Amino acid sequence: MAFEKVKRSENYSEWYNNLVKNADLAEHSAVKGCMVIKPYGYAIWENIQRQLDRRFKETGHSNAYFPLFVPKSLFEKEEKNAEGFAKECAVVTHYRLKADPDRPGRLITDPDSKLEEELVVRPTSEAIIWNTYRNWIRSYRDLPILINQWANVVRWEMRTRLFLRTAEFLWQEGHTAHATKEEALDETRKMLDVYAQFAEEWMAVPVIRGVKTENERFAGADETFCIEGMMQDGKALQMGTSHFLGQNFAKAFDVRYQTREGGLEHVWATSWGVSTRLMGALIMAHSDDEGLVLPPKLAPIHVVIVPVYKSEEELNLIADAVLPLKKTLEAAGLSVKFDDRDTQKPGFKFAEWELKGVPVRLAIGPRDLANGTVEVARRDLKTKENLPFAGIETHIQQLLNDIQKNLYQRALDFRSAKTYTVNTWEDFVSAIDVKEGFAVAHWDGSGETEEKIKELTKATIRCIPLDQHEENGTCILSGKPSKGRVVFARAY
Amino acid sequence: MAFEKVKRSENYSEWYNNLVKNADLAEHSAVKGCMVIKPYGYAIWENIQRQLDRRFKETGHSNAYFPLFVPKSLFEKEEKNAEGFAKECAVVTHYRLKADPDRPGRLITDPDSKLEEELVVRPTSEAIIWNTYRNWIRSYRDLPILINQWANVVRWEMRTRLFLRTAEFLWQEGHTAHATKEEALDETRKMLDVYAQFAEEWMAVPVIRGVKTENERFAGADETFCIEGMMQDGKALQMGTSHFLGQNFAKAFDVRYQTREGGLEHVWATSWGVSTRLMGALIMAHSDDEGLVLPPKLAPIHVVIVPVYKSEEELNLIADAVLPLKKTLEAAGLSVKFDDRDTQKPGFKFAEWELKGVPVRLAIGPRDLANGTVEVARRDLKTKENLPFAGIETHIQQLLNDIQKNLYQRALDFRSAKTYTVNTWEDFVSAIDVKEGFAVAHWDGSGETEEKIKELTKATIRCIPLDQHEENGTCILSGKPSKGRVVFARAY
């Protein structure tokens, strides 16, 4: 492996960049801020998509597809949303290139192809979708509308990081329309739960469910719910958001429905999304200095089998023994790789599959064959043991379950150890700056205090947790009264 | 149903537009030339995607994702490709909007955000992908690269038609890199076969496999293979293309590899794609004056069950009888809808599901319950029969197979009847213009003759069929010698 090793403890950020590159997950492209998602990285994203898509459908949603472009006049209709995204919009102004008269073989934008109205490349699709919903909604019978879209979006970014912050990214965006406020709020919460369950049960990342403060709210939302995970450097990563949009878009796009009683009311809305950012969370939550560590439920390859042999005859004997096992495991729904490349030695292969985070590795040589044993290594703990080959498939299934559980428990223990309930400014600063974790502290509820804390410590309020309990206290900075604690952290 | 009925025989084009709209497949959006794919239409597209994706993976390909934008300097590198697409490129020139100082609440493109280099919204991804492959390929060990991408692309179109020709469309594009010409040619043919098999076995549309003439070739390809289907108006629709790109992109982007023998050679390339155009083919090949007719293998709903009842008590009795059947069918992998809406009458429901092309409809009322029977209607032939309810699941499975086969056979018979082997110009014109079908005729092999025929009849050479047999003849127009027949038709 030409793997430039950087330890997490030395430089977490460089460790992450190296890992994304060396594990063949993604790379920067020739387009500033845009990434190429490589096959191995994309295979993980496909697993994420498949599970989320299944859950969306189970909860009554259908997929659809809306245009990539938003005419400027529609984009600006919901003013807060427009204001929030205006600074990062890629704008299409022309629809044709032509030969450059001065430089043969080169092209220039044809000035005669200027668009009458500029088109914004969608940074999010509320505008184009609510303009469409207007024609779909007449009466209460047309509601609810429960639609999701898998798409690419563009938000121009100056400082980018693979998966975490890129100008173009892939995501899903749910957009629902409801007759009542209650129903829309229920939907907002329901999809937050879908995200939280996915994060915990599939990604093995424990999350805090909460509400954003006004400062951190989605532009155009009345309320933004979120899930927040802790990375191994103690920073928070927002893993998904679910917005209660009130009647803001319905009013901006004049979407009203006839009620059962014959009245005319504006429609209530939600939107919710997760993106390829989840890849960043998955990588940062579990991986180690040897490379990626993947939860089995999302790993593109569950088991790799590495033969240890000297002659082709030995390889054939090993293949005869393991190929039926491979078939058995595949029949049970697992993805198995038999790495019989003759261009690389076993040690190289071990390192490569470790780097790629394959949960279980089997190694088997002539002596194992003679003894009826196999070496089984688990990626999460980097332990290995020699076990009887007969019946190993049952053990592997059990091991994959154990790894999934262990990763979650390890991440949960880590978060617990790095979450500090603090009551003084000194302890707060220490929790954020020295101990580098989450600080659970009282806050006076004002945007000014929030801003001030951010300036002083770079910590933001990640959320007001949904399980917050009422507790009288005083704000960590201002000393003003507070009714409950919120979660502060530095964040990605 | 507020379904403005237009018959195929009266106005085929209007029939198509109405059907797409009324069956809730797609609609025009506020963005000129871009469509909204509605949930029912998108569900069909998802079925198409799922099957193709499975086949791509079975044939050794992986998915990945490359940027939406192509910097102009990369776009123009392969000159033929650039020239071919320059006229239909959406161009991003700015990356920010700002408040309009003259009109409160409005936005303008911020002139200070002009990009140093314009970005083309990908009309196809060869340029950005081959620029990436340059860094991935060093030696023969890195080859082949077998990658596919599911993405949106933009080709600016003035005259658009839903699914058939839109400014933005969804597609998949395979991009492969090989050490030898033979291997690349094999890949090109292999993927053409994957497309042909999908068209015939899943879409139930028989296709002609062939090679395009130089005039009709993909810009930047050495050879374009295609599959062509016949629609019910006798026109051809190109359903998929597979391009042998030679070393054109490798040379334009300087992608070379070290051979086993230590030499340095340019890489050989292919690309291949199908798009949401397939939706248009699916609709036009099978549907009738009552609406959509879907092949069971791609139908989002296989069976709809309509209860015929007067009281809620009757409905409950029917539900008790059919819900176990629904479960049995679903366990066998079918999608079943029990339409128990109390807002619509059975006749309305029958018409609606006919319009949406559901292959099998069951209707069941109190008398059926008493007699132990059920009415089974098949969408393709519009026939119905009363059958014993017991064991109906076996019959339904058989019926779905029959419908799939029948649709294919019907389309094949139709094509056979409308395909004319002609030897005189008069018969040629009659085949195209009066009989409105495919004309299989001799052609002298020149681009000028091809152009002339197009001018005179609007017919183009759809392809030189792969199963063309050598036969001496004279060109239908020029009278010059020809070695074999090609397929002419008017086309979408």
Question: pLDDT tens across B381-428, in order?
Answer: 999 999 999 999 999 999 999 999 999 999 999 999 999 999 999 999
**No. of H helices and E strands in chain A?**
14, 27
- pLDDT of A298 > 50? The answer is yes
Q: Is B89 on the interface with A (CB under 8 A)?
A: yes
A224 and A331 part of one domain = no
Q: Which helix (H) or strand (E) holds A226?
A: strand A223-230
A131 and A171 part of one domain = yes
Q: Is A311 on the interface with B (CB under 8 A)?
A: no
Q: How many domains does chain B have?
A: 3
Q: Report the C-alpha gap between A361 and A306 in whole angstroms.
A: 7
Q: Which of residues 162-201 of A touch B (CB under 8 A)?
A: 168, 170
Domain residues for the domain of A425 are: 419-489
pLDDT digits (tens, 9 = 90+) for A186-208: 999 999 999 999 999 999 999 99
B180 and B307 part of one domain = no
**Do the Cβ atoms of A215 and A447 come closer than 8 Å?**
yes
Q: Report the C-alpha gap between A310 and B256 in whole angstroms.
A: 34
Q: Edge-to-edge strands of the sheet including A438-442?
A: A62-63, A145-154, A168-178, A268-275, A236-246, A223-230, A207-211, A460-465, A485-489, A438-442, A419-421
| Residue B111 located in a structural domain | no
pLDDT digits (tens, 9 = 90+) for B171-209: 999 999 999 999 999 999 999 999 999 999 999 999 999
A359: closest CA among A404, A325, A311, A324?
A: A404
B460 and B375 part of one domain = no
Q: Is B66 on the interface with A (CB under 8 A)?
A: yes
Q: Report the C-alpha gap between B117 and B108 in whole angstroms.
A: 20
pLDDT digits (tens, 9 = 90+) for B128-143: 999 999 999 999 999 9
3-state secondary structure A165-210: ECCEEEEEEEEEEECCHHHHHHHHHHHHHHHHHHHHHCCCCCEEEE
The identity of residue B7, as a single letter, is K
| Residue A455 located in a structural domain | yes
Burial A41-74 (b: 16+ CB within 10 A, else e): bbbbbbbbeebbbebbeeeebbbbbbbbbbbbeb
φ, ψ (nearest 5 deg) of residue B41: -65, -40
How far is residue B111 from each of residues A162, A211, A346, B114, B204, measured CA to CA in Å?
29, 37, 58, 6, 53
Greatest Cα-to-Cα distance within chain B, rounded to the nearest angstrom: 83
The domain spanning residue A336 has which CATH number? 3.40.50.800
B380 Rama sector, left if φ>0, alpha if ψ -120 to 50, beta otherwise: alpha
Q: What does the mean pLDDT of chain A come to?
A: 97
Q: Which of A371, A401, A431 is the last residue before a domain boundary?
A: A401
Pairing relationship of beta strands A303-307 and A360-364 according to DSSP bridges: parallel
pLDDT digits (tens, 9 = 90+) for B16-56: 999 999 999 999 999 999 999 999 999 999 999 999 999 99
- What pTM was computed for the model? 0.97
Cβ B86–A72 below 8 Å, yes or no?
Answer: no
Cβ A89–B95 below 8 Å, yes or no?
Answer: yes
Burial A270-287 (b: 16+ CB within 10 A, else e): bbbbbbbbbbbbbbbbbb
> What ipTM does the predicted assembly reach?
0.97
**Quick one: what percent of chain B has pLDDT higher than 90?**
98
Q: Report the C-alpha gap between A452 and A215 in whole angstroms.
A: 12
Mean pLDDT of A233-262: 98
How far is residue B19 from each of residues A336, B287, B299, B320, B349, measured CA to CA in Å?
46, 9, 16, 35, 17
Mean pLDDT of A129-158: 97
Cβ A86–B76 below 8 Å, yes or no?
Answer: no
Confidence of residue A4 (pLDDT cuts 50, 70, 90): low
- pLDDT of B260 > 50? The answer is yes
- pLDDT of B2 > 50? The answer is no
Confidence of residue A5 (pLDDT cuts 50, 70, 90): confident
DSSP labels, A424-454: SHHHHHIIIIIS-SEEEEE--S-HHHHHHHH
Confidence of residue A366 (pLDDT cuts 50, 70, 90): very high
Q: Which of residues 132-151 of A touch B (CB under 8 A)?
A: 132, 141, 147, 151
| Residue A478 located in a structural domain | yes
Residues of A in contact with B151 (CB under 8 A): 152
Cβ A36–B62 below 8 Å, yes or no?
Answer: no
Which of A88, A106, A118 lies nearest to residue B76, judging by beta carbons?
A106
Which of A29, A67, A89 lies nearest to residue B67, judging by beta carbons?
A29
- Nearest 5°: CA angle at B402, between B397 and B408? 135
In the numeric block, which tokens belong to residue B47?
């079925």
- pLDDT of B4 > 70? The answer is no
pLDDT digits (tens, 9 = 90+) for A72-81: 999 999 999 9
Q: Report the C-alpha gap between B124 and B70 in whole angstroms.
A: 10
φ, ψ (nearest 5 deg) of residue B436: 50, 65
How many contacts does A have with B, using Cβ atoms within 8 A? 192
Which of B43, B68, B109 lies nearest to residue A154, judging by beta carbons?
B68
- pLDDT, residue A326, reads 98
How far is residue A150 from each of residues A63, A157, A174, A200, B44, measured CA to CA in Å?
8, 21, 9, 22, 15
**Do the Cβ atoms of B146 and A115 come closer than 8 Å?**
no
A324 and A282 part of one domain = no
Helix (H, G, I), strand (E, B) or coil at B261: coil
Mean pLDDT of B248-267: 97
Alpha helices in B418-446 (DSSP H): 425-429
Q: How many CA atoms lie within 13 A of B180 on its CB side?
A: 4
Q: Report the C-alpha gap between B76 and B63 in whole angstroms.
A: 26
Tell me the nearest-neighbour CA distance from B11 into chain A, angstroms. Answer: 26
Q: Report the C-alpha gap between A267 and A258 in whole angstroms.
A: 10
Q: Which of residues 328-357 of A touch B (CB under 8 A)?
A: 343
Q: Which of A401, A432, A450 is the last residue before a domain boundary?
A: A401
Q: How many CB atoms lie within 10 A of CB A295?
A: 26
B185 and B244 part of one domain = yes
**Do the Cβ atoms of A393 and A329 come closer than 8 Å?**
yes
Torsion of CA A465, A471, A473, A478, to 10 degrees: 30
Q: Is B88 on the interface with A (CB under 8 A)?
A: yes
Q: Report the C-alpha gap between A240 and B64 in whole angstroms.
A: 23
- Nearest 5°: CA angle at A299, between A33 and A393? 170
| Residue B168 located in a structural domain | yes
Cβ A109–B87 below 8 Å, yes or no?
Answer: no
Cβ A76–B105 below 8 Å, yes or no?
Answer: yes
- pLDDT, residue A200, reads 98
Which of A119, A147, A154 lies nearest to residue B31, judging by beta carbons?
A119
Cβ A121–B121 below 8 Å, yes or no?
Answer: yes
B336 and B437 part of one domain = no
Residues 6+ apart with CB under 8 A from A47: A297, A298, A299, A300
- pLDDT of A14 > 60? The answer is yes
B213 and B350 part of one domain = no
Tell me the nearest-neighbour CA distance from B90 into chain A, angstroms. Answer: 4
A222 and A277 part of one domain = yes
Tell me the nearest-neighbour CA distance from B452 into chain A, angstroms. Answer: 27
Q: How many CB atoms lie within 10 A of CB A200?
A: 17
The domain spanning residue A162 has which CATH number? 3.30.930.10
**Do the Cβ atoms of A159 and A243 come closer than 8 Å?**
no
Which of B71, B107, B343 lies nearest to residue A86, judging by beta carbons?
B107
Mean pLDDT of B351-358: 98
| Residue A240 located in a structural domain | yes
Q: What does the mean pLDDT of chain B come to?
A: 97
Q: Mutation test of the interface with chain A: which of B65, B135, B342, choosing the one with the most A Cβ atoms within 10 A?
A: B65
Cβ B343–A141 below 8 Å, yes or no?
Answer: yes
| Residue A174 located in a structural domain | yes
A206 and A172 part of one domain = yes
Q: Which of A255, A286, A317 is the last residue before a domain boundary?
A: A286
| Residue B104 located in a structural domain | no
Q: Report the C-alpha gap between B267 and B126 in whole angstroms.
A: 14
- pLDDT, residue A157, reads 87
A376: closest CA among B175, A358, B74?
A: A358
Mean pLDDT of B157-166: 93
In the numeric block, which tokens belong to residue A141?
């019978």
- pLDDT of A10 > 50? The answer is yes
- pLDDT of A2 > 80? The answer is no
Helix (H, G, I), strand (E, B) or coil at A347: helix
A342 and A250 part of one domain = no
- pLDDT, residue A3, reads 54
B133 and B232 part of one domain = yes
Tell me the nearest-neighbour CA distance from B479 into chain A, angstroms. Answer: 39
**Do the Cβ atoms of B191 and B48 come closer than 8 Å?**
no
| Residue A103 located in a structural domain | no
